[in-house]
Amino acid sequence: MANYHPDTRLLNEYSSGTLPLAQSVCVSLHLNYCDQCRRAHQQLQQLGSALFEEMAPQQVDDSLLRTVMSRLDDEVQPLSYQSTPAADAPPPLIQRLMRGDYEDLGWEKVTSDVRMSRLRTGDIDNEFALYHIRAGASIPRHTHKGTELTLVLEGGFSDEEGHYEVGDFIMRDAEQQHSPTATRDRDCICIGVLDAPIKFTDWKYRVVNPFLKIQPS
Amino acid sequence: MADTVGIDSTGKRDDEWSQCLQLVAHARDREAFARLFGHFAPLIKAFALNGSALAAAHAEELVQEVMIKVWQKASAFNPHKAAASTWIYTIARNCRTDLYRRLQKFDTPINADDIWPEAESDELFAAVQQKREATRIREMLQELPHEQCQILMKVYMEGKSHSEVAEELDLPLGTVKSRVRLAMKKLQLMVER
């Protein structure tokens, strides 16, 4: 079960629908692994509905009811809207974005131990990417200009502030430096959502920085 | 069903909407649907008008879309899992989000129903508990200080981020965040850690 969670602001913005698309996907995926946040989200939807009922109703013309009534039968019954939480496989939402399995993706090399694959979410401000870190290896020390959301999908990693396992959700703000290291026993796959590029601070890797320009899509 | 307004009117009314939804689901009852329309369509319209300029410009279209979804999806409504008003609100939220992305010409493989999966298991908490909780949230909302309620309204009904609210009210972001946290505490929501 996850030990690191989205904060109050993120959960409220997620539940109310104000969070950008790529970030919403990341929070939604965390919910797959976390009963506690799923529960909190349900409560926030109840809050949303209570606020909804507090609004001053706006006059709706009778003709609109007639229009809707006349359209009731011409639409086909949609399929069930239920979605099932993941067991062992990657969550359905991420499978959808990957259109296949981890192996089917086009991976770009970042360092000899780190690969990344950008996935298209349609978010025009945030880059959504998968990172694959070889067991025991590190992502070079870096800083962020904006916000970085991370969700662990496989394996685990540690940084200066903690140790993270599958389902854990981490948010790092601008100027927080860190150097995540994957656990030794297995490779780590995680999602990274960025609204501004990360910058490697170690001179050895600075040459890579221009290639990390974010590419939201 | 009489349109009674009593002390416990919200709870009773929710039972009424829940019955209407079940009539729509099982008997395709148009009269029950019209009653739902009468109550919810004006709220959905208000929700659209409160949203982005794009959503506001398409308010009636949104009302149509949401109410048709209510008709189509009624059989997926489970009165043991959700209050009728919460169920309809989430459809409105999803449709408004999708409408905005569609009008902005977002090219995305994801829609709102993917982002907010429906509650799956009732082992999370029992129906009775959920109902009690919904009532409690409604009641406590009335006692929330205006400055907290105003921010929640902007986030949930106007669809604004905390930063946008801070800018609009000319408050530091930290103040907006702490007011939201205070509201969560007061409403006894399990969001705080």
The pLDDT tens digits of the residues spanning B113-169 come to: 888 877 655 555 566 777 788 889 999 999 999 999 999 999 999 999 999 999 999
Low-confidence ranges of chain B (pLDDT < 50): 1-7
ipTM: 0.91
Per-residue pLDDT tens for A80-109? 434 444 456 678 888 888 887 888 888 999
Q: For A23, name the nearest residue in chain B, comparing CA atoms only.
A: B115
Instruction: State the nearest Cα–Cα gap between A32 and chain B, in angstroms.
Output: 9
- Residue among A135, A114, A123, A137 nearest A198 (CA): A114
Intra-chain end-to-end CA distance of chain A, in Å: 31
Beta pairing partners, A149? A171, A193
- Give the pLDDT of residue B2: 42
- Give the pLDDT of residue A80: 40
Burial class (CB in 10 A: 0-12, 13-18, 19+), A196: middle
CB A78 within 8 A of CB A24: no
- Give the pLDDT of residue A146: 86
Which CATH number belongs to the domain containing residue A184 in this structure? 2.60.120.10
C-beta atoms surrounding A96 within 10 Å: 14
A176 or A35, greater pLDDT: A35
Q: Please tell me the distance from the alpha carbon of residue B121 to that of residue A65, in angstroms, as a whole number.
A: 35
Confidence of residue A79 (pLDDT cuts 50, 70, 90): very low
Q: Does A123 touch chain B (CB under 8 A)?
A: yes
Full strand arrangement of the beta sheet holding A162-164: A162-164, A157-159, A181-182
Burial class (CB in 10 A: 0-12, 13-18, 19+), A19: buried
- Give the pLDDT of residue B1: 40
pTM of the model: 0.90
- Give the pLDDT of residue B40: 98
Q: Looking at the predicted structure, is the pLDDT value of residue A25 above 50? A: yes
Confidence of residue A213 (pLDDT cuts 50, 70, 90): confident
B85 contact residues in A (CB cutoff 8 A): 49, 52-53
Q: Looking at the predicted structure, is the pLDDT value of residue A206 above 90? A: no
> What mean pLDDT comes out for the span A201-206?
83
Domain count of the fold of chain A: 1
- Give the pLDDT of residue B119: 61
Q: Looking at the predicted structure, is the pLDDT value of residue A208 above 70? A: yes
Q: Does A59 touch chain B (CB under 8 A)?
A: yes
Q: Do A43 and B133 touch (CB under 8 A)?
A: yes
- Give the pLDDT of residue B11: 65
Task: Give the structural domain span for A157.
Answer: 1-217
Instruction: State the nearest Cα–Cα gap between A104 and chain B, in angstroms.
Output: 18
Q: For B188, name the nearest residue in chain A, comparing CA atoms only.
A: A43
Domains defined along chain B, listed by start: 9-124 (1.10.1740.10), 144-193 (1.10.10.10)
Which of residues 124 through 153 in chain A touch B, CB cutoff 8 A?
Answer: 124
Mutate to test the interface with B, among A1, A16, A95 (most CBs of B within 10 A): A16
- Give the pLDDT of residue A78: 47
Q: Please tell me the distance from the alpha carbon of residue A44 to that of residue B156, in angstroms, as a whole number.
A: 10
* Signed CA dihedral, A28, B144, B142, B164: sign only: negative
Q: By mean pLDDT, which of A149-158, A187-196, B124-133, B173-182 is the weakest?
A: B124-133
Residues 6+ apart with CB under 8 A from B145: none
Q: Looking at the predicted structure, is the pLDDT value of residue A167 above 80? A: yes
